[in-house]
Structures are given as C-alpha cells and as structure tokens.
Amino acid sequence: ARTYLVTGAASGIGKATADRLRAAGHTVIGADRTADPAGDGNPNGNGDSDSDSDGHGNGDGVAIAADLATESGRAELVDRARELSGGRLDAVIACAGLAHFVPDTVRVNYFGAIATLEGLRPLLAAGTAPRAVVVASVAAVHPSDPAIIEAAGAGDEEAAATAAQNALDRGEGHLIYSSSKAALARWVRRAAVTDDWAGAGIPLNAIGPGTVLTPMTEGLLADPDLRKVVDTSVPMPLNGHARAEQIAPLLTWLTSPENTHVTGQLLFVDGGAEALLRPAP
C-alpha cells in the first residue's frame, strides 16, 4: 500500500480519485479548502458510502484544511502533510482548482498547484517510487491571455492576478481559467525534466480532462445556452461528458509504480476534444 496526498479531495475528480485509491487499500491524505475530519461529511457525495465510520480523520475524508489561494494555506498544506505522513509521501495528485472568472482562479490553479508540487517534493523524495500529477484541462489549448501566462511563468503572482483582473475588466474573464491551465501545463513540461523531478526519479505529469460531470460544471450544463457554449468549445465525439470516476484511473496509473517513463506530458482525457480543436498538434 502507498501513501497519497490528494488536493481537491472533497469533491469531483479529487474525491473520485481518493475513493478509488482507498478502495485499492492505499492511504490517502485528503486536502481541500475545508476539512472533513470524520471522513463522513461527504459534501458532494456521489452515493457511495465511505466505509470508514470509526471517526478517525487521519487518511480518510479530508484531513487537511488549506486554502491554496493563499501563502499561509499553502504552508499549512505542507506542514500538515509532513505531520500526517511522517515525512514521506509516495505520490501527490493535485486536483484542487477553480473555474470562476476571478483572479483567485490563477492563484489556485497555477500558484496553488505549483506550491503543492514544490512544497511536497521533499516528502516525495523520501517516498517509494514517488510520482506526481496535476489536473490541468483541455482548456489549456483554448484562447488564452499572454499577460497572465507570462506573469505566471515569471513566478510573479501579483502581476498574474492583476493581469487576470485586467482580463475581467475588459470582459474577457473566461481567459483566466484557460490561461491558468496553459501556464500550468508549461510549468510541468519544464519542471519534469529538471534535476528536481526527473533527476530525482519522480515522474511529473499533467492531465487535460474535457467536460467532466462534477459540481464545477453542474450549473453550466444545467443551462441550455451555456451547455451549448461548453459543448462547442469542448466537443467530445467519444462517449460525451465524462464522470469523475472515468478520469480517476489515469491519475492513479500515472502515480503508480507502473509508470516509469511517462513524464512532462499533458495527457488529454477528453473524448477527442483536443484532437478536434487542434488537428495538427
């Protein structure tokens, strides 16, 4: 059995992934904005009843409450992860993300994700067959805002948040999400082949889901007009919208010891959306 840290574990893709890992006998330390120490709060329950009813939060539900939009939340994540894991993790699966048209979206999706990966890397280095993966999006190939991507790439969080606010002010708030994910995929590509990751024997990848049926997309898909916009920008000829349980297996494989040579990739799990949007890759 391995020890995994999963962010965004309270809901959607993160929750489905944590459930899958626990069902396979692994230990999962869940993190999210708010904790669920009993492991039975199940705020976005998908119907399965979490078997653990002993009331001990460690490794069940969401053990770590940390707001990844903030420096203090990111530090809290790393401190608590060190405590709960005894200083060693075998894998990190960073799912926490936000799709709102607000500057916080770039703080969480880019700076929060990178702080998660970099902050937990020393714990991974102490683990067995360590691996890491982060959830980007097929939106990484959508139109984006160069100013946000450039500031993110330079590691300047305040400039990135300002660029996001500027996009919002000129009516292009939708570019914040795609830009945060494009910047994230670029970071993964660069970082994966450095001494910190490849040199330390740690595969690091991103995945790019298409439209997944989670609380993040519920409201959009419930509105017929917005649903049309979503399905035009993310066309999914293979099997349509995915369930979170259909995304989880790729995350668990990429972070399993079986993955010895896949690194630095943005792997689309999108029913063909990226292939349609970008026929010449």
Q: Site residues (CB under 6 A) for ligand NAI?
A: 8, 10-14, 32-33, 67-69, 95-99, 108, 135, 137, 209, 211-212, 214-217
Q: Cβ contacts of residue 201 below 8 Å, gap of 6+?
A: 130
Give least dist CB 177 to ligand NAI, A: 7
Question: Which of residues 30 and 127 has its CB atom nearest to ligand NAI in the complex?
Answer: 30
Give 23: exposed, middle or buried? Use CB within 10 Å, 0-12, 13-18, 19+.
exposed
Question: Which of residues 108 and 175 has its CB atom nearest to ligand NAI in the complex?
Answer: 108
Question: Which of residues 56 and 100 has its CB atom nearest to ligand NAI in the complex?
Answer: 100
Question: Which of residues 33 and 121 has its CB atom nearest to ligand NAI in the complex?
Answer: 33
Give least dist CB 195 to ligand NAI, A: 27
Give least dist CB 97 to ligand NAI, A: 2
Query: At which residue do the structure tokens 């300047």 appear?
Result: 156
Question: Which of residues 112 and 203 has its CB atom nearest to ligand NAI in the complex?
Answer: 112
Question: Which of residues 67 and 274 has its CB atom nearest to ligand NAI in the complex?
Answer: 67
Query: At which residue do the structure tokens 């329950």 appear?
Result: 45
Give least dist CB 278 to ligand NAI, A: 16
Side chain identity, residue 222 = A
Hey, CA dihedral for 13, 38, 87, 74, is it positive or negative? positive
Question: Which of residues 194 and 273 has its CB atom nearest to ligand NAI in the complex?
Answer: 273
Give least dist CB 241 to ligand NAI, A: 8
Give least dist CB 260 to ligand NAI, A: 25
Q: Which two tokens mark 72?
A: 């203090």
Give least dist CB 212 to ligand NAI, A: 4
Side chain identity, residue 275 = A
Question: Which of residues 126 and 234 has its CB atom nearest to ligand NAI in the complex?
Answer: 234
Give least dist CB 247 to ligand NAI, A: 8
Side chain identity, residue 31 = A
